[in-house]
Each structure stands twice: as C-alpha cells, then as structure tokens.
C-alpha cells in the first residue's frame, strides 16, 4: 500500500512538473517572440514602437482576431489608442485610426507605403489585378479601368441595373417563405457583376454554380499562406481556377469578335481602353481582372445593400422623407403592385452577414465589416442587369406597372436619397479598412512605423471617432445636407471608398446601385410590407433555436392595429383558425405574440416577474398614468394591491350591499316605468358608474347625481380612445382620451380634497379611495395627488366598465333562455328571497353565497362573454412557449375569450348551459381553462366585489321583471370591453310573483 501511495504521488509530481514546464516554456517563448519584434525597430529612429501585443509565437493574435471579430480592434483601441501594434496572418501589423493618421497613410502611397494585401489574397487574385499592382503598373491599370466606370459606361449600365433590381425585389415579395436579406443581396450583386459587367449570358443553374464557386474563393481569400491539401489557400486557388476557366471561354470569344462602337459590358470597355492606351492585355490579365471585378462588386455592395434596407426600416421618418422626395420628382410611390404577392405562413428573417458592422462579434476579415474587400482600388464596382432583363411589358406575376427609366441625371436630382446612402456608408461601411506595407521607417502620431511592417487603417473606427460628426452614434442623413455639410468638414473623416491614388475606382457605380435599390423599394408598397416584416422579425433571439410563431406583421409602422380595432372578433377568429394557439402580429406600435390555451396561458400568468411583466400599450399607460395599479410593478404593486384589497374584504362587501340594492332597485324601477324600449348597455353603464362612484370613491349620492352625466360622457370618450395609436396631436385618439381623463381628474380631485378636509369625521365605511389616502398618512408619505387621481380613475374604470359589460351579457343571455330565468326564480323562492316571505329577508354575504345556481349562471355568462378579452404582458427575456421562441421585449397578449373557446373540458361550448358548473367545477380540473378574472399575482383585485354586484343585480332583475330583446341576439364588439353593437334594446315588464 505504501508503494502504491508513493507511486501515486510520483505520478502527480511528474504531471505537475510537466504542466509547470509547459507554462514556463510558453511564457518564455512569448517573451522571446515579443523581444524578437522589438528588435526589428529601426534603431536610427528614436521614436518608440506603438503600444500593443504581438500575441503568441508564429500565430501572433490571428486566432483572437478571427474569433473576436470587431471587438478585437475595439478592445485594443480602447487600451492602446488610435495607433497600436499586433501580429496578424503571419505579419507584424500597425492598426491606424483617425482622420489625420489616415491622411498620412493614404497620401503617402508609393512614398511611405505601398498596397500589400495578405499573401493569400495576392496569390488567389493574381499579380495582374489592380489591388496587387504598384507604381507605374498601377497607374496604367487604373487608367485602362477608368473607362469601365466612365459617365458614358454608367449611363449604359443603369437601365439593366434597374431591370435586375426590379426582378429581384419582385421575387422577394412573391416569396411566401423566409428571406435572408444578405444572401439575397449577394445573389443580386453577383448577377450584376456577371451579367452586366462581364456580359455572361448563362443559365440560372450555371450561374448558381459559379456563385457557389466564387463564395468558396471569398471564404478562403484571407487564410494562412499554406498551400497544402485541404488548406484554405488550396481551396481558394481551386475555386479561382474554375472561374478562370469559365472566363477564358468568354474572353476568347470576345477577342475573336469585331468590336462595335457601342460596348455592352465592362470587358468590352476594358479591351477598347487598352487599345487606346497602346496596351495589349493578355488572356491571364483579362481573367484576373474579370474575377477582380466580381470580387469588388460582390460582397461589399451586397453588404451596403443589406445595411441600406436595415437602416430604412429602423428609421421610418427617413424612409418617409425619401418617399416624399421621390413623389416630388414624379415617381409613383406605392403605385407598383405585384400579382399574387401574398403574405405566407412563414415570415422572412434577416441574416446579418458575419462580417457586417451590424454584428459586433464579426470578423474584420469577413465580407462586410471586415474582409477589406476593396483595397481601395476597385471596391464597389457593381452594376446590374443583363441587356435583356428589362422588357417594356412584364408577364403575369411580375410588376403590373413600372417606375420610369432612371438615368444619371434623374438620380443626381435625388439629393436627400444621396444623403441617406452616404449616412448608410458612414454608419455601416461595408469594408473595415485597407492594407499597406511601410516602404521606409516613418513617424505616425509620435510612434515609429518600421520599414516592412504592414499597416492596416480602419474606416469604421475613423467614422465613429471623427469629431466633425454631431452625435455620430445616430443615423442622421441630414448631416450631409446643404445646411450642415458635416461630410465636408475634413477630407479624411469620411472614407468609405478610401482615398488618395488608391481610392475606389467604382464608387460611383456602387452609389448608383444603392440608389436604384432604394428607389425600387421605397416606391413599391408590397416591397415595403415585406421588408417591414423582415425588419420586425430580425428582433428574434439568434441564440434561441426555436422559430418565431407563425403570423404576419401587417403594414409598415401601423402593423395590424387598424384591422384589429375595426374588425376585432373577425380578425382574431381568422388569425386563430389560420395560425393556431400562438401567433405573431404587430399591434399598437409593438411586435406582439398572441397566446391562448390553458397550458400556454398558465405559463404566462405564472411567469409574472420572471418571464413576463405587465405592460399595456403606450396609449393605455399614458391615459391611465404611471401611478395606476395596472402600471405598477414589484413591491409598489404588492403594497398598492394590499391596500386596495381592504376595500374588498368580507366586512366591506357586506357594508356595500345596501348601497348596491338601493341603486339597482332605483334603476330597475325606471326601466319598468319606461314601458317601451330601454337601451340596456348605456343604462347599465350609468348604474354601475353610480355604484362605483359611491362605493369605491365615496361620492355622496347628491354629488353622484349632479356629476353623473358629465363624468359618464367623459369616461365614454376616455375609454373609446384607450387603445389608440400613441400619437398625441390635436384630434388624435390619444389627444381626445387625455382631454377626457383630465376632466375626470378634476372632479376626482374635488372629492379627494373634500375627504381630506373631513379627516376628523368618522364616515359610515371606508371606501377604496379613503383607504389609499389613509395609507399615505400611515407611512408618513406626502399626499401625491396625481397618483391618487390615477388610482381613482382606474378604480372607476375597473369597477363599472367590466361589471356593466357582464351585467349586459346577463340580460342578453337570460333574455334568450327563459328556462334559465325560471330556474333562477325557483332558487330564489327556495332560499326565501322570492315569494310571500321575501320582504322579511335582509340580503347579506351569506345568503348570496347560497345562491349556487345563480352563481353558475354568472360563471357561464363570463365563460362565453368575458368582459375583458385578454391582457398585455412584455417578455422580460427570450423564452420558449409551445415550441416557439418569444423574443425579449416583445408584447404578449393572452386571450381569455379564445382560451374559453378552445378549452376541451367544456362540452358543447357554444351552448349557454349554467348546469355545466353545477355537477363539478371545471376550473378546478384545469385551473387555467376558466380565467375571466385573469390569474396569478395579477388576478382581478375586485373579482369578489364583481360577483356580489352581479348577484344583487340578477336578484332584483328576476324578482321584478320580465324582458324581451327587441332586436334578438345582438352582434358583440370589443372596445376595450365586450358590448352589444345595438346597445341591446329591450322591453321590460313587471313580473307577477307566482310564488305569493
């Protein structure tokens, strides 16, 4: 045993020693690696090297760069400043930010620095490309390519670009499934590059093959320079060779043809320009130039197009202003229609490019934000549209009408759109920067840049840190307008296309493509709807694998609010039938998930404070106020609810019964005296309003009668506009709602001040408002008049609006089911409330509790016609519900009426059958199948008060009246509680008590 223990400790010691040795070796090697690069500094220059880290031996910080993306440069810039050193892709690198520093780099071309892309890029693209040329060869190459992007050439490209963009936008709208914008934009720009610039008329299948091949080239363009089997460099070379083989066939055909005066593509312009400059281009040069044209036009323009779409959808005011400019120039905004363009069950999603500036974890060497796609020689050289892709008339399924043909002159007149494109390129430049190599040691910002080291300048960081931009974090196209002209304040503060002799030669073409795309999107109503959906669902959590619920997001900015408000029941029924128990929509300015079904609703109600929190639409929050119970959270909500609950204790409810009986008897007597027709709903609302004013707010009877009509009318106006668009301008719904609320507040304040002045007098009972006032005094808090007014308004709303809806439904259902009325009367007779001895009976809580059948009648009424159809929540975090993800920040509406409708525990759901609640209590078998009062910590605070009130109402009604519905069963509407459209005209007559 001793020997085993010794052996065990020896093994541990060996392992520990090995680990320590490895760690020491790594530490020493890292220090030697850093020392090795410090020794390469120019000793004749006294300036220090920039601050920074060279990483690990051989690999440097390459893996950190690849894995951390843009955060790699951001973290080091914050730590070391605008100039720092690192080691990437096998080379020592100086990273540079800031207008003055970049000016020195860009204007120092051929003197201080020379373009030198990573070795893998130079190998794959070839030595004859513009990005890899230097000195006189670069000047000659650029001169030849200048004709490709001349004014005459661009004018030739524009109609074909417009045709291709239209076709692509049409396909987006016609797509019933999901649209990933970035891949779609890349497909668009690839077609532009291949069919317009290179003039390749290939079948779609072959075009897809070429696109995948080019994608493989792009993926391996920035790789370790190791040409071994299965390496990234080897894969990139293989893809390039396939493309060269295809290009060679086209080029040979062109060389064999006689050149005409009108050139149809960039290769023609290039060959012509070469002849004019006494230069004969070899097949190899033409092949490499052709691939470079695709390279320049492909990912960068696709990235910029994606960013343009995102920014337009994020900023509706910008999109609207751009549309107005189009209208002023004779464009038919929203007049373009698509045949058969329908919303599908599967909504589109945005997939932001891995290298996009949209994605903070992106790589600076990927397509947009990173892979410096433009070496600032040939970046956005993209146009689109084959010569035959823009027919005068289009077949069915395409556009039914077109915008006018665009031209350079027409595009140049769209000044605001030009500002929009500039701001997109400022905030989200498609390329992060460019590479250079130091030709000699020179000084930059107080540091030495040693000869032979690589220099990487940052476009994105320079834009973000430029002091000339006011609020640079904001998307504000007006900064480039004539009034501000921030873009002209310093030449090198805005460099999306680089600068100096290496500035992007195709920048005008890139801007043309972006403008044409914007024109087609903004002037196409259906495209706007599709892109609205794309933008909204881009809010899904990418870390959650579950899909978003099915559904549609409606019109841009309005969503489906108008349909829901105008056709609520039909709208919701259609949605449920089409999408099931969970679906997404856009209501009251927010993306929303609507939920029904016991299990789904249970998860929402029991997830309060963990998964969801109460959040009513902005209009409701504004009108009711932040001090109302429904808008309070956590401890504030618990404390306020505890105080209000005292107003609904058993003793308090017993105290309220005489007041309720008095008001109900008075109202029923008036209805009987009327003799002809009573509009039940408005009459019941007035009755419930009087009861709520007296019981909940403590209004004296004489004050109640005096203020009743004005207050009821004001409440009607406030409630009518409770759910409206959150736009507070004269005559808007929110404006009218606030005006009505302010009148209500003024009356309530009079009552509060009267209560405070009578603080030494003992009242008959303490209403809810009195309890709130006393709670403030008990806690030593100052009397917050605004909070008290808001709480009182909410009590009036909850205390009369919902009970009025339920009482009206009772009249409606019992008017259709006389047998139920007879059963209620039999129960009243059995309990001694109806008949010869009924006069001696005093109504109390205990007696009302014994009315079991009447309780079932009320339950059945609330099952079929719950006063409140649902409630609002907001997701506190992304969570899964029935296989779908509910993204953080989205609204969640749980539906009470739909949950009742779909509950399997209720047989013959459409029948009015109170007996279903007599034999067993269905709500006990599945607690969340029956939720007229909600559930969880947010269940209705006044539900016992409502039950007592409805029972007393039904007792008095059935004791005194017979009634007939004059219009038969009414159409029910919601706004915000359920009510009959015709106000339920009813004839009441006296009931002759047969039990006497």
Categorise residue 983: left if φ over 0, alpha if ψ from -120 to 50, beta otherwise.
Answer: left
Q: What is the DSSP string of 787-822?
A: HHHHHHHHHHIIIIIHHHHHHHHHHHHHHH-HHHHH
* Helices 204-219 + 232-256 axis angle, to 10: 140
Query: How would you classify the pairing of strands 590-595 and 891-895?
Result: parallel
Q: Which two tokens stand for residue 305?
A: 């197009």
φ/ψ of 110, rounded to 5, equals 70, -5
**What 3-state DSSP class applies to 692?**
helix
Q: How far apart are the first and last CA of the chain?
A: 103
DSSP secondary structure code for residue 588 in this structure: T
Please name which of 670, 941, 664, 940 lies closest in space to residue 807, comparing C-alpha atoms: 664
Query: How would you classify the pairing of strands 961-965 and 985-990?
Result: antiparallel
Q: How many whole angstroms separate alpha carbon 750 and alpha carbon 767?
A: 16
Scan for tokens 């909204």, then name that residue.
536
Please name which of 583, 578, 586, 581 lies closest in space to residue 555, comparing C-alpha atoms: 586
DSSP secondary structure code for residue 377 in this structure: S
Q: How many whole angstroms separate alpha carbon 624 and alpha carbon 906?
A: 36
Q: Which two tokens stand for residue 177?
A: 């499934």
Q: What is the DSSP string of 292-325?
A: HHHHHHSHHHHHHHHHHHHHHHH-HHHHHHHHHH
Residues pairing with 974 in the sheet? 978
Are 82 and 466 spatial neighbours (Cβ–Cβ below 8 Å)?
A: no
Alpha-carbon 959 to chain mean position: 56
The helix (H) or strand (E) run that includes residue 645 is: helix 634-645
Q: Which two tokens stand for residue 261?
A: 């005066």
The per-residue b/e assignment along 456-491, b for 16 or more CB within 10 angstroms, e otherwise, is: bbbbbbbbbbbeebeebeebbbebbeeeeebbeeee
**What 3-state DSSP class applies to 437?**
strand
Residues pairing with 893 in the sheet? 594, 872
Nearest-Å Rg of the Cα atoms of the chain is: 38
Are 93 and 455 spatial neighbours (Cβ–Cβ below 8 Å)?
A: yes
The helix (H) or strand (E) run that includes residue 84 is: strand 83-88
Q: What is the DSSP string of 144-156?
A: HHHGGGSHHHHHH
User: C-alpha angle 657/660/664, rounded to 5°?
Assistant: 140
φ/ψ of 52, rounded to 5, equals 145, -170
| Residue 940 marked as a ligand binder | yes
> Is cis: bond before 976, omega within 30 of 0?
yes
Are 901 and 909 spatial neighbours (Cβ–Cβ below 8 Å)?
A: yes
- Sequence-distant (6+) residues with CB within 8 A of 496 are 425, 426, 429, 430, 431, 459, 463
Q: What is the DSSP string of 500-526?
A: GGGS-TTHHHHHHHHHHHHHHHHTBHH
Scan for tokens 């269905």, then name that residue.
922
C-alpha dihedral sign at 71, 75, 80, 86:
negative
- Sequence-distant (6+) residues with CB within 8 A of 268 are 199, 254, 259
Query: How would you classify the pairing of strands 884-886 and 879-881?
Result: antiparallel
Provide the annotated binding site.
940
Provide the annotated binding site for heme.
940
């Amino acid at each position: 045993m001793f020997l085993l223990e010794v052996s065990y400790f020896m093994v541990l010691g060996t392992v520990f020693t090995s680990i320590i040795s490895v760690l020491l070796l790594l530490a020493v090697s890292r220090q030697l690696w850093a020392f090795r690069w410090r020794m390469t500094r120019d000793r004749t220059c006294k300036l220090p090297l920039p601050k920074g880290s060279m990483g690990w031996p051989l690999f440097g910080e390459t893996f950190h760069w690849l894995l951390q993306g843009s955060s790699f440069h951001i973290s080091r810039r914050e730590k070391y400043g605008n100039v720092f050193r690192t080691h990437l892709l096998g080379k020592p690198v100086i990273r540079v930010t800031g207008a003055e520093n970049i000016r020195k780099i860009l204007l120092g071309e051929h003197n201080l620095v020379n373009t030198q892309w990573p070795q893998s890029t130079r190998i794959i693209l070839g030595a004859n490309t513009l990005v890899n040329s230097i000195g006189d060869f670069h000047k000659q190459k650029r001169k030849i390519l200048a004709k490709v992007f001349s004014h005459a050439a661009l004018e030739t490209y524009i109609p074909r670009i417009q045709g291709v963009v239209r076709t692509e936008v049409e396909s987006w709208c016609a797509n019933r499934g999901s649209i990933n914008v970035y891949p779609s934009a890349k497909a668009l720009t690839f077609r532009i590059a291949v069919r317009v610039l290179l003039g390749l008329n290939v079948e779609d299948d072959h075009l897809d093959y070429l696109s995948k091949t080019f994608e493989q080239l792009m993926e391996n363009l920035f790789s370790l320079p190791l040409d071994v089997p299965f390496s990234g460099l080897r894969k990139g070379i293989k893809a390039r060779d396939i493309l060269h083989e295809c290009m060679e066939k086209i080029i040979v055909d062109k060389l064999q043809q006689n050149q005409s005066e009108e050139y149809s593509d960039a290769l023609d312009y290039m060959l012509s320009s070469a002849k004019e400059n006494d230069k004969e281009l070899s097949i190899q040069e033409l092949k490499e130039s052709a691939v470079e044209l695709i390279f320049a036009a492909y990912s960068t323009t696709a990235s910029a197009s994606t960013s343009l779409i995102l920014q337009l959808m994020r900023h509706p005011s910008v999109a609207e202003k751009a549309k107005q400019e189009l209208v002023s120039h004779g464009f038919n905004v929203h007049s373009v229609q698509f045949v058969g363009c329908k919303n599908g069950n599967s909504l589109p999603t945005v997939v932001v490019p891995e290298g996009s500036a949209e994605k903070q974890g992106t790589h600076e060497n990927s397509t947009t934000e990173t892979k410096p796609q433009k070496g600032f020689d040939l970046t956005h050289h993209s146009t689109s549209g084959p010569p035959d892709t823009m027919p005068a008339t289009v077949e069915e399924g395409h556009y039914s009408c077109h915008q006018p043909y665009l031209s350079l002159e027409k595009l140049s007149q769209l000044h605001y759109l030009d500002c929009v494109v500039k701001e997109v390129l400022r905030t989200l430049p498609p390329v992060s920067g460019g590479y250079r190599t130091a030709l000699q040691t020179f000084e930059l910002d107080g540091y030495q840049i040693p000869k032979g080291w690589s220099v990487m300048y940052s476009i994105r960081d320079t834009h973000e840190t430029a002091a000339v931009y006011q609020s640079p974090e904001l998307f504000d196209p007006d900064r480039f307008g004539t009034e501000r002209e921030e873009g002209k304040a310093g030449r090198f503060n805005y460099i999306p296309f680089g600068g100096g002799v290496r500035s992007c030669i195709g920048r005008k073409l890139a801007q043309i493509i972006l403008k044409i795309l914007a024109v087609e999107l903004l002037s196409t109503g259906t495209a706007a709807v599709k892109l609205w959906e794309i933008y909204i669902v881009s809010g899904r959590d990418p870390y959650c694998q579950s899909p978003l619920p099915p559904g549609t997001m409606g019109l841009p900015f309005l969503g489906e609010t108008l349909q829901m408000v105008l056709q609520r029941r039909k709208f919701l029924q259609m949605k449920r039938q089409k999408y099931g128990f969970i679906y997404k929509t856009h209501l009251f300015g927010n993306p929303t998930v609507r939920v029904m079904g016991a299990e789904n609703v249970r998860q929402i109600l029991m997830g309060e404070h963990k998964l969801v929190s109460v959040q009513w639409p902005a209009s409701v929050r504004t009108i009711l106020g932040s001090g109302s119970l429904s808008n309070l959270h956590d401890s504030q909500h618990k404390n306020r609810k505890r105080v209000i609950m005292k107003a609904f204790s058993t003793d308090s409810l017993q105290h309220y019964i005489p007041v309720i009986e008095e008001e109900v008897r008075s109202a029923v007597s008036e209805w009987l005296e009327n003799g002809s027709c009573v509009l039940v709903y408005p009459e019941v609302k007035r009755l419930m309003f009087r009861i709520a004013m007296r019981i909940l707010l403590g209004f004296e009877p004489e004050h109640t009668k005096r203020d009743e009509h004005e207050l009821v009318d004001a409440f009607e106006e406030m409630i009518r506009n409770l759910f409206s668009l959150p736009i507070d301008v004269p005559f808007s719904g929110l404006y009218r709602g606030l005006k009505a609320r302010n009148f209500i507040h003024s009356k309530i304040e009079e009552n509060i001040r009267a209560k405070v002045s009578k603080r030494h007098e003992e009242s008959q009972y303490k209403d809810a408002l009195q309890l709130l006032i006393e709670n403030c005094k008990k806690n030593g808090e100052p009397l917050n008049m605004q909070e008290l007014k808001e709480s009182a308004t909410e009590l009036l709303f909850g205390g009369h609006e919902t009970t009025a809806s339920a009482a009206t439904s009772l009249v409606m259902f019992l008017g259709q089911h006389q047998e139920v009325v007879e059963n209620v009367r039999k129960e009243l007779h059995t309990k001694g409330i109806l008949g010869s001895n009924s006069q001696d009976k005093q109504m109390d809580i205990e007696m009302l509790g014994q009315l079991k059948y009447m309780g079932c009648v009320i339950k059945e009424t609330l099952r079929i016609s719950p006063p409140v159809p649902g409630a609002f929540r907001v997701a506190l975090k992304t969570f899964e519900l029935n296989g779908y993800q509910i993204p953080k920040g989205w609204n969640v509406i749980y539906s009470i009426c739909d949950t009742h409708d779909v509950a399997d525990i209720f047989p013959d759901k459409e029948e009015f059958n109170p007996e279903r609640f007599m034999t067993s209590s269905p709500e006990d078998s599945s607690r969340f199948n029956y939720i007229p009062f909600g559930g969880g910590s947010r269940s209705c605070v006044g539900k016992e008060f409502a039950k007592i009130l409805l029972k007393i109402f039904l007792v008095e009604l059935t004791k005194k009246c017979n009634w007939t519905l004059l219009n038969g069963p009414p159409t029910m509407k919601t706004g915000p509680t359920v009510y009959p459209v015709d106000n339920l005209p009813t004839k009441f007559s006296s009931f002759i008590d047969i039990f006497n």
